[in-house]
Structure 1
């Protein structure tokens, strides 16, 4: 009797019986507890398995196994009244099917335990009775390694074909917590490039700069036009070192991270912290006392029926997202009528300090104005984190942000000294986020032509950035600036109204490459307008990494490979190899001729 080539487990189906794990033979239905030796001995004696295990050579010399499957009403039987359908899968088909299944599992972020599930096993047996899907161990080991190598090859091929790319790096600001630095390459599609592990002690500007320069050289420095990083304190010094080594590269900070830090600075002001503490005290008082909680819920339900209130429950801050504080403020404001009525009720036992807070009109006024201010800033954070956020929108966004903060601070709970501190924080945020390349992107985006809000200094810096890239691309600077003048004045190619209306339907970089490629300025504009304004791609990858770690993966290397495959499979166009036929046309023709002569 031949010994098993792939282990005993694939020939048994796991199940739970009377609270115990059992394994049923796929051929004769005999059941065993988990014991590989006894199960192997059973297979050596199983008559039904002996029929299955008979090997016959396939057309390419590989072995082929025929597996009897009980006939079902919807499956054809081998003979009239027969009991079995004979199916076969040779090694080549099995390997190809495993590869396709693994790719589908990775691309859809399906659990790797999917193929161990009895219902999926039955589904596969209906589709192809002789096919045995790979277990979790195979999906997380050699199949993952092969797919990772294949996908990474496609990533490098895409980067090689791109005319201009940007390096995105994140993880430096919280290296103490994670130790993981993520690199993505925007082509402009943000492809997962690699992860590195580092220690907090190595987080110096020189170390960071050397790491960034290493990735730039790996990708190809001539096609890298920007480096986008998080807001680690050492970053600005690291940027200077990168730009010194590669004068044509602009090093910029993640705009979303900058605005998040501004948000945190506002919440950290003493008056705002005091307001947050009072709001949290009210929420805890209502939530933790059953009488108050039941009364609030009852009164709130009544007001919902009367259409004078919404159904939002009181919320305490949780997590670090900007919505945490805003949601607490909003929940209090939406339940304000019920809570204030509770404060004057003689039958309810409410702490003296909480009752005083609920009866304080200034508390509610400050809650409303502060909620509005924080909500507006938070919306900018979410807007910047969108996948379609553009570098050209950063300058305009800061103009709007400065106006919003300036007009809202006077109505907030912050006193004059704190308001000055917030404006100083806004200045630091803008210094971190807005560089000459942002001004250049703003001036080159057709959606902003005629809406210039730049200062003279920003305009001069934009000219410098455009001239610098012109030299790097071996373009005539005079011709490039002349083209820029015609673009700004809407002359020549840009004289008609149609070309301007078209920019509302495509990205700015596509507009330049697709409609204005004949202009000397086109290559420069195309490179600049593809640069992402944030490290959002890396942040999404990091969330995915953390999710996979929480699912119990032991090896960090396995987790990184799985995330890389999952992320990139959904960004890269499927290659012809994904759907390659198992036989070439010549092989099919030879097989057909052979069958015809029989």
Structure 2
């Protein structure tokens, strides 16, 4: 009998005997240790296997794999006294099973080695003994290619249906770490479009501008209204070229990036750096000495009468986000009483004891922690999935007020306070553009609360007029509709329509309740634009972790991340869950190569 072309493993069932794993032939019940050569030689001579393998094709003409399976207690028998059941998987079912399993692995970001794991193999054997799950090689090659093509077609379909598209681009600011620039299409749901492996170059802004223009032309310039990038100078330099070629498109900076830069510049001020060093000195001194750390723990338990699980843990700054410094300050402030009582001991380092007994040190910690926490909260808020463009103007107005009121209480001197306010002005210039003012004026939640300057209002009108022209709308009628909206007249006279805006997004509000007004397409378009590149930042982390899996080329990594990301955004259609019909053999797009 000719040797098998497929793998040998599916013809044996793994069993544990005397603590050792052996493999039992599914046809004659003979057992072997794990040795593919001997097992293959056995199959070549196995009479029972010979009978099964020579079965005639199924009535529908499709090939099938019929495997007799030992009747364990957890498997149904062919008859009450039968020794085997016969399970078969035809080629069509095998292919469809591979497709569904691969999609589940990608959608859940499961490791590609999942199907090589012995426990998963046993699970599949119990679920469907004759089904042979795809290998890691299959999951990372042809199955991934097919799923990527299928998902990308859905991405292009979603873009085609969208009436407003935003290009989100990020990666140049940390190019040395990742080497990858990510491009997202917001429809407004964020969809991974592509990534570029880039290196620092002399004409970086030109390269970025060309990439952005190419994507805009691929997607369709008529439906792209904004480009959002990180704060890298190369990105900002590319804005002008994009806006020159496409006048209706607004290029804006990521608000979260802008505020993070403001936070970093505050922490970099000499007085704040000195405070951070002093705080770190205290934390290191207490935590790095085992005896002192134990004393601190016992002191807290005695004095605060808290359970050990709720005790304050002194923390050093970790990571690159804003929480590191704030958490350190906060941990010291929570443990202030215990630390100050410990400072009575003459064995403590003189500098540490002086810091703990210095009232000014604790006051500076508290006021600085309040300011940094305030700014950090705004960073996190703008990174949220529900952050909207219209909130940026109001947020900066509140931020300016709170920073101005808090600076004098911090450790910063007068010159440093002026430097911080100058940094704030730069941050606002980067983050707030005319389209933000337009979004603020068009958001029903902000009507009657206008805090815009005359210049901002004028720039907002320009954006509204520009978008109106691009959508081939009568500018005069659009502005007339805007006047009724602002005055709460006509359609907007009743109280009910205004209360409804608290329960849906502003763009849906305009589309669903105000579609009869000529201002509706303009407002819904502007209000769909996201304010940050937050999705790109999470994908950068995902890219790095996927690359660390090893043995995947850059092209495979991009496809895998694209599929994993977009499957979480795109809703599965009904046909994906339906079993294959008998007449669909020719339509199967996956080739079964599981071994």
TM-score by length of 1: 0.93
Which residues of 2 match residues 176-575 of structure 1 at below 5 A?
A: 176-201=176-201, 204-305=204-305, 311-346=311-346, 349-575=347-573
CA shift digits 1:488-511 (9 cap, x unpaired): 000011011110000000000000
Which residues of 2 match residues 100-115 of structure 1 at below 5 A?
A: 100-115=100-115
Cα drift, residue 429 of structure 1: 0.4
Look up the match of 1:136.
136
Residues 586 and 367 of structure 1: CA distance in aligned 2, closer, same or farther (over 3 Å): closer
Asked whether the 8 Å contact 1:56–1:65 carries over to 2, the reply is no
Deviates more, 1:53-62 or 1:196-205: 53-62
Cα drift, residue 46 of structure 1: 3.5
Asked whether the 8 Å contact 1:52–1:66 carries over to 2, the reply is yes
Deviates more, 1:413-422 or 1:356-365: 356-365
SS at match of 2:201: helix
Cα drift, residue 577 of structure 1: 3.1
SS at match of 1:570: helix
- Is 1:165 paired with 2:197? no
CA shift digits 1:7-65 (9 cap, x unpaired): 334445679999999766565463334x5434432332344543443343123422112
Look up the match of 2:64.
64
- Is 1:579 paired with 2:577? yes
Residues 22 and 206 of structure 1: CA distance in aligned 2, closer, same or farther (over 3 Å): farther
Asked whether the 8 Å contact 2:183–2:536 carries over to 1, the reply is yes
CA shift digits 1:151-186 (9 cap, x unpaired): 011001110111111000110111122110111100
- Is 1:152 paired with 2:141? no
Distance 1:202 1:152 in 2: 33
Asked whether the 8 Å contact 1:170–1:230 carries over to 2, the reply is yes
Distance 1:76 1:290 in 2: 60
SS at match of 1:57: coil
Asked whether the 8 Å contact 1:315–1:327 carries over to 2, the reply is yes
Distance 1:518 1:359 in 2: 68
CA shift digits 1:438-458 (9 cap, x unpaired): 000000000000000111000
TM-score by length of 2: 0.94
Distance 1:17 1:192 in 2: 49
Look up the match of 1:596.
none
Look up the match of 1:32.
33
Cα drift, residue 383 of structure 1: 0.4
Which structure 2 segments of 5+ residues have no match?
586-595
Look up the match of 1:590.
none
Distance 1:6 1:131 in 2: 13
Residues 48 and 410 of structure 1: CA distance in aligned 2, closer, same or farther (over 3 Å): farther
Deviates more, 1:413-422 or 1:295-304: 295-304
Cα drift, residue 121 of structure 1: 2.0
Residues 376 and 125 of structure 1: CA distance in aligned 2, closer, same or farther (over 3 Å): same
SS at match of 1:86: strand
Count of residues in Structure 1 that have an aligned counterpart in Structure 2: 584
Cα drift, residue 287 of structure 1: 1.1
Residues 557 and 354 of structure 1: CA distance in aligned 2, closer, same or farther (over 3 Å): same
Look up the match of 2:593.
none
Task: State the structure with bigger RCO (CA 8 A, min sep 6), 1 or 2.
Answer: 2
CA shift digits 1:380-416 (9 cap, x unpaired): 0000000000000000000111111111100000000
Cα drift, residue 119 of structure 1: 2.4
CA shift digits 1:307-350 (9 cap, x unpaired): 9996120111111011011011111111111111111113xx32
Deviates more, 1:320-329 or 1:73-82: 73-82
CA RMSD of aligned residues (A): 2.3
Asked whether the 8 Å contact 2:21–2:33 carries over to 1, the reply is no
Distance 1:170 1:390 in 2: 18
